[in-house]
Amino acid sequence: MRNMIHGTSRRTFLTTAAIGGAASALAQSKGKRVLMYVGTYSSPEGPEGSRGRGEGIYIFEMNPTNGALKQLSVVRNDANPSCVALDPSGTHLYSANETRKYKGKNAGSVSAYSISRPDGGLKLLNTVSSEGEGPAHLSVHPSGKYVLVANYFGGSVAVLPIESGGSLGPAVDTKQDAGQVGAQHAASAPPGSFAISGHDRTHAHMIQADPSGRFVLASDLGMDRIFVWQFDQKTGKLSPGKRPWVSVPSGDGPRHFAFHPNGRWVYSIQEEGSTLILFDYDAGTGALTARQTISTLPKGFAGTNYTSEVMVSFDGRFVYGANRLHDSIAVFAVGKTGEATLIGETWTRGDYPRSFNIDPSGNYMYSCNQRGDAMTTFRINRKTGELVFTGDYTPIGTPSSIAFLT
């Protein structure tokens, strides 16, 4: 499979594939409307010093038969709503607005929207401070009572309560990452890499609760750590876990992480080291123990690359990781003990894939090609994990993240 994906997907547009389980998944989704929300960079204060070309949050309808997208509307937001997330009930959407000033203070903001049916339209409820500069990631706690936000430039995380009606209250807790930052050059980077951008100071990059909601994990790229917090669901307060953090090799820069469906394994992708790390997860204590490290790049690669997103397939058989500059999605097979094997990579057909997401049926993947100003669509072979380009490009300025609603 490595030769098939690496050797052909970057040179020719494949149009057919055997898709395991596709018929049953499509049958389950038949009759359900699948909506996609896409967050973008939309202000002059865009990513990596460039201007955002999006207009806010875009709403698409997905055709579950062929993966095609139809734009329904766009909700204007000129404050870089770069990360979007839905609450468990699917009635509200929240956006992290990735700016460094909010109401004259050094902070970004988070907006709350109600969702109307059946068109999926958004109505702004309110916007509150993220309590730190440049909120790059947010998630909704499994209880549906809190929004968790990671402030990249602020080097902090915050807990925002969800009030009745879905609006947000001011933060009930904020934690400032503090300590020594890692090396400027990643220990695990490929030869010739100049991926050295994130170790000037602390940079909180992702925050998410574990499946039980008892613990909250938060990665800090600058400190090369993943923090583990105990979470009080009554108050929204964070307190250090029994093992309050785990380190990755100096300079490698943990960016995003994903839980395996079994809840026992966590996969972390390192932005500057271009690696995937498998952690064993203790659901009783929240402790993480590293067991495997593997490159996200093909053998022999040299030069600069920045990873971005990581996801586990719904059936737990495959892990996917995005490479920026190499502009590919790496495909890993998951073994019986959780260890990953790189089996190939697929060209994203767009520049700088900032993130990707898999639709609710598990049959399609969409890549947000930030510098290419388009999303590209791939059919997933459920048996082999292979990604096959469908030929669909969806134009959208500096796309950044995707959330699905059924």
Q: What are phi and psi of 154, to 5 degrees?
A: -80, -15
Q: What is the band of 48 on the pLDDT scale with cuts at 50, 70, 90?
A: confident
Dihedral angle computed from the Cα positions of residues 320, 366, 108 and 106, in that order, rounded to the nearest 10 degrees = 60
Q: Is the pLDDT of residue 12 over 70?
A: no
**Backbone dihedral region of 343: left (phi > 0), alpha (psi from -120 to 50 degrees) or beta?**
alpha
pLDDT of residue 30: 53
Q: What CA–CA distance (Å, rounded) separates 363 from 379? A: 6
Would you state the pLDDT for residue 50? 82
Residue 143 scores a pLDDT above 80: yes
Q: What are the strands of the beta sheet with 135-140, ordered from one edge?
A: 135-140, 146-151, 156-161, 173-176
- State which of 47-56, 196-205, 313-322 shows the largest mean pLDDT: 313-322
Residue with more model confidence, 385 or 24 = 385
Burial class (CB in 10 A: 0-12, 13-18, 19+), 286: buried
What pLDDT does residue 31 have?
A: 61
Using the CB atoms, write b or e for 180-194: b if 16+ within 10 Å: ebbeebbbbbbeebe
Q: What residues does 293 pair with on adjacent strands? A: 277
State the Cα–Cα distance between residues 231 and 137, nearest whole angstrom: 18
Rg, the chain, Cα only: 20
- Residue 196's pLDDT is 85
Q: Measured between alpha carbons, how far is 2 from 379 in angstroms, rounded to an integer?
A: 17
Single-letter residue type at 84: V
Contact between residue 84 and residue 58 where contact means Cβ atoms under 8 Å apart: no
Query: What average pLDDT score do residues 181-210 get?
Result: 95
Is pLDDT at 119 greater than 50 in this prediction?
yes
Cis peptide before 395 (omega within 30 of 0): no
Residue 291, pLDDT score: 98
Q: How far apart are CA 116 and CA 130, in angstroms?
A: 25
The rounded mean pLDDT for the chain is 93
CB atoms within 10 A of CB 30: 10
pLDDT of residue 169: 98
Residue 25 pLDDT: 44
CA distance 119 to 183: 48
Q: Tell me how far apart the alpha carbons of residues 18 and 379 are, in angstroms, rounded to a whole number.
A: 10
Name 301's bridge partners.
Answer: none
pLDDT for 7: 38
Strand arrangement, sheet containing 275-281: 254-259, 265-270, 275-281, 288-295
This prediction has a pTM of 0.93
pLDDT for 32: 83
Residue 394: band (very low, low, confident or very high) from pLDDT cuts 50, 70, 90: very high
Share of the chain above pLDDT 90, in %: 89
The answer to whether the CB of 319 falls within 8 A of the CB of 335 is no
